[in-house]
Amino acid sequence: MEENIKEIVVGEQEDYVINMGPQHPSTHGVLRLVVTLKGEIVKNVEPHIGYIHRGIEKMCESITYPQIIHLTDRMDYLSASINNESVCLAVEKALEVDIPDRIKVIRTIFSELTRIQSHQLFWASYGMDMGGQTCFFYGLRDRERILDIFEETTGGRMLISYNCPGGLMYDIHPNFQKRVKDFIKYFRKVLPEYDAILTGNVIFTSRTKGIGHLSLEDAISYGVTGPSGRASGFSCDVRKHEPYSAYDRVKFNEVLYTEGDTFHRYLARIEEMRESMNIIEQLIDNIPEGPYAVKMKPIIKLPEGEYFQRVETSRGELDTFVISDGNKNPYRIKFRTPCFVNLGVLNHITRDFKIADLIAIAGSLDLVIPDIDR
Amino acid sequence: MGIKGMKYEEFKDNESLELLRESGTNVLLTTIDDVINWGRKSSLWPLTFATSCCGIEMMMTGAPRHDFSRFGMEVYRASPRQADVIVVAGTIVNKMAPVLKRLYDQMSEPKYVVAMGACAISGGPFFLNSYSVIKGVEHVIPVDVYVPGCPPRPEALLYGMLQLQRMIETETIHSRRERVAKNNSK
Ligand code: SF4
C-alpha cells in the first residue's frame, strides 16, 4: 500500500514551477514570484521585479531639489513623510543650514505618525492574508484617524509632501496637538484589541510561529533592516545609532527579538507602534516656538560633492546618496530602499517550507512594491 | 427615480441619454433593459488590481469609513473572470501594460474600466521625463470613467463609481452591442 501511493505522488520526479503574480491579491501590488515546488515544498523563489519601475532616480536628475520631494513621496507611499525627510536632510546637510528646533520636533512627530499608520495598514492586510477579515476593518478604521490629522495640517491624506528643503511647507494646524493627543489616548485603548484578535489567536500563531526563520548572521549579511531585521536581533535602528531630527532628545527602546521567525517580525511591528506613541507623547507637549521654515534661496544649488543621509522608514533603512555638480538639479541620486534589500532574503527564508507558508513569510517582510522598483 | 425622470441639464452624460432616446423607444425591451441594468449596476464587482499608491486609497474606500458595500461593490474578486469592473489604481509601466491588457481580455462582457488617479489618466507626476511610464491607460484599454487626483480621495472614487452606475443605467441591448464592437475594434 505504501509503495503504491509513492508511485502516484505528483511532482516526485521533477520540479513543478508555478507563477505567482504580477496580479495577485497577496503580493500587495505587482510583485511576480516564480516558485519552484517539489510536491508542496518550496524549493526556490525567484522574484521578478520591474512591473512598477517608474524611473524615479533618473527623473530626479532633470528636476530641482524641491521637486524631488514629490517623487520620493511616491516611492514608499506608506512612509511618504519619512522619505521626504531623508532628501531634505541631505540637502540641508550639503548647504549647512541650521534647522530650528521647532521644525525638527514637528518632523519627528510626523515621521512617527507615519510609522504608526504604516504598521496599522500592515496589520490590517497581514491579518487579511491570514484569513481574518476583521483585521482589515479594525486596522483601517484607526488609520483613518491619522489620515484626518494629516489632512487637517497638510491638506493631503497620504502623500502629504509636508517637508521641504529648509523646513516645512506650512505651520501646523492649531488643533494639531489636541488631535494627536486624542488619537494617542484612543489608540492606547484599542491596541490591546489588536493583540486579542491576532497576536493571541491560536490559528494565527500556529501559522506563523517557527516558520521563515532568519538568523542574525543571515540578517546582517543580507542587509535586512527595519522591524524584519530587528526581529532577528540585528540592532539596526538608525534612530538610535545615528539620530537625526529630534530623535536624540527622546527616550525609546529599540524593539529587539532573537527568534527571527515570522511571528516575531509581526510582533516587532506591533511593539513599534507602542514605541512610536511613546516618542510622540514626549514631544507633543513641548513643541518649541519659532519659524516653521528657514528662508532658503529661491533656486537651491548644492555645492559640488557627495552627500549621504540615512533615515529609518517604517520598513527599514533608507539611504539617500546625492552627487552634485553644482547645478540646481542633482548629477545622480541613489536611493537605497529597504524593501529591495529585504526582498533579497525571501528565497533564503522560504526554502523548504510549504507553499501555503510563502504568503505568511512574504507578508511578514511587509514589502511595498514601488519601493522595490522605484 | 428612473433615469428618464431626471432633468436633462442635471444629467452628466447627455450623449448616452440621446442614444437612449434614439434607440430605446420599444416598450417591452426598455422594461427588460431597466431590469437588467438595475441588476447590473447594483452588483458591480471590482477586480483586485492595484499597482501603487492609488491602490491604498482604493483599500480605504472599502474600509469602514467610506464603505464601498453601500453601493453593492464590496465583493473584490481576485480573478478577472468573475469581475465586472477593473479599477486601474496606479501607474502602468511598459512592462505591466501587456499584463493589464491580458487581464482586461480575460474579463467577461459586460466589462467596465475606471481609470483612477493621475497616473492612469495621463501618466501624472511621471508624464515628463520618465522613460517607462505609459502616458494614460487608454492607450492600452478603453476607459469608461476617469477619476482625477493624486491620489483621489475615497469620496472621489465613490463618485466615479456612481457615475459608472449611471452610465450603466442608460444602456440598452442595442447600445451595449455597439459598445462591445467599438471596444473590440480598438
Ligand atoms: S496618481 Fe499619484 S497616487 Fe495615484 S498611483 Fe499615480 S503617483 Fe500614485
Flag if A59 and B103 touch (Cβ within 8 Å): no
What mean pLDDT do residues A264-288 have?
88
What mean pLDDT do residues A231-249 have?
86
In ligand 1, the atom with minimum distance to the C-alpha of B117 is 1
Which residue from B48, B149, B61 is spatially nearest to A147, judged by alpha carbons? B61
Q: Compare CB distances from B103 to A23, A55, A71 and report the shortest one's residue.
A: A23
pLDDT for the residue numbered A27: 65
Q: Is residue A182 part of a domain?
A: yes
The pLDDT tens digits for B80-93 are 888 888 888 888 88
What does the mean pLDDT of chain B come to? 79
Confidence of residue B30 (pLDDT cuts 50, 70, 90): low
SS3 A39: coil
Q: Is residue A285 part of a domain?
A: yes
Is the pLDDT assigned to residue A9 strictly greater than 50?
yes
The pLDDT tens digits for A72-125 are 888 888 888 899 888 888 888 888 888 888 888 888 999 999 999 999 988 988
What mean pLDDT do residues B141-168 have?
86
Domain count, chain A: 1
User: Could you report the predicted ipTM of this complex, rounded to two decimals?
Assistant: 0.81
User: What gap in Å lies between CA B175 and CA B186, rounded to an integer?
Assistant: 17
Which residue from A345, A338, A348 is spatially nearest to A369, judged by alpha carbons? A338
What mean pLDDT do residues A205-220 have?
86
B43-171 CATH, one of 3.40.50.2000, 1.10.3720.10, 3.20.20.70, 3.40.50.12280: 3.40.50.12280
**How remote is the CA of residue B154 from the centroid of ligand 1, in Å?**
13
User: What gap in Å lies between CA A268 and CA B133, rounded to an integer?
Assistant: 36
Is the pLDDT assigned to residue B155 strictly greater than 60?
yes
Is the pLDDT assigned to residue A255 strictly greater than 50?
yes
Q: Does A220 touch chain B (CB under 8 A)?
A: no
Confidence of residue B32 (pLDDT cuts 50, 70, 90): confident
Establish, for the pair of chains A and B, how many residue pairs have beta carbons separated by less than 8 Å.
Answer: 100
- Is B139 exposed, middle or buried, given 0-12, 13-18 or 19+ CB atoms closer than 10 A? exposed
Edge-first strand order for the sheet with A41-48 is: A16-20, A32-38, A41-48
DSSP-assigned letters across all residues of A229-297: HHTTT----HHHHS--TTGGGS-------S--SHHHHHHHHHHHHHHHHHHHHHHHTTPPPS-SB----
The parent domain of residue A236 ranges over: 54-373
User: What gap in Å lies between CA A134 and CA A203, rounded to an integer?
Assistant: 14
SS3 A123: helix
Residues in chain B: 186
Lowest mean pLDDT among A131-135, A173-177, B54-58, B168-172: B168-172
Probe target for ligand 1 pocket from A74, A368, A369, with the most ligand atoms within 8 Å of CB: A74
CA distances (Å), origin B178, targets B93, B166, B171? 30, 18, 10
User: What gap in Å lies between CA A111 and CA A180, rounded to an integer?
Assistant: 13
- Is A286 exposed, middle or buried, given 0-12, 13-18 or 19+ CB atoms closer than 10 A? exposed
Which residues in chain B have Cβ-Cβ distances shorter than 8 Å to A19? none
Q: Is residue A197 part of a domain?
A: yes
SS3 A25: helix
What does the mean pLDDT of chain A come to? 85
Residue with cell string 433593459: B33
Lowest mean pLDDT among A32-41, A200-209, A330-339, B27-36: B27-36
Flag if B52 and A74 touch (Cβ within 8 Å): yes
Which residue from A264, A261, A265 is spatially nearest to A353, judged by alpha carbons? A261
pLDDT for the residue numbered B1: 39
8 A C-beta contact, residue B172 and residue B29: yes
pLDDT for the residue numbered B80: 82
Phi (first) and psi of residue A94, to 5 degrees: -65, -40
**How remote is the CA of residue B162 from the centroid of ligand 1, in Å?**
21
Confidence of residue A1 (pLDDT cuts 50, 70, 90): very low
Q: Which residue has the higher pLDDT, A335 or B35?
A: A335
Pairing between strand B112-116 and B85-89?
parallel
pLDDT for the residue numbered A13: 62
Identity of the amino acid at A278? N
Q: Is residue A163 part of a domain?
A: yes
User: What gap in Å lies between CA B37 and CA B74, rounded to an integer?
Assistant: 18
Q: Is residue A307 part of a domain?
A: yes
**How remote is the CA of residue A352 from the centroid of ligand 1, in Å?**
38
Pairing between strand A167-168 and A163-164?
antiparallel
User: What gap in Å lies between CA B143 and CA A9, rounded to an integer?
Assistant: 47
Q: What percent of chain A has pLDDT over 90?
A: 2
User: What gap in Å lies between CA A43 and CA A38, rounded to an integer?
Assistant: 6
Is the pLDDT assigned to residue B127 strictly greater than 50?
yes
User: What gap in Å lies between CA B96 and CA B100, rounded to an integer?
Assistant: 6
pLDDT for the residue numbered B7: 65
Q: Is residue A203 part of a domain?
A: yes
- CB-based contacts of B125: which residues, under 8 Å, 6+ apart? A70, A71, A74, B118, B119, B150
Edge-first strand order for the sheet with B145-147 is: B46-47, B85-89, B112-116, B145-147
The pLDDT tens digits for A110-150 are 999 999 999 998 898 888 888 778 888 888 888 898 998 98
What mean pLDDT do residues A38-60 have?
86
Q: With a CB-CB cutoff of 8 Å, which residues 112-151 of chain B face chain A?
A: 125-126, 129-133, 150-151
Query: Which residues' Cβ are closer than 6 Å to ligand 1?
Result: A 74, 159; B 52-54, 90-91, 117-119, 124-125, 150-151
Which H/E stretch holds residue A33? strand A32-38
What mean pLDDT do residues A282-301 have?
84
Q: What is the CATH number of the domain that holds A200?
A: 1.10.645.10
Listed by start position, the domains of chain B span 9-41, 43-171
- Single pTM value for the model: 0.85
Q: With a CB-CB cutoff of 8 Å, which residues 23-62 of chain A face chain B?
A: 23-25, 29-30, 50-55, 58-59, 62
8 A C-beta contact, residue B112 and residue B40: no
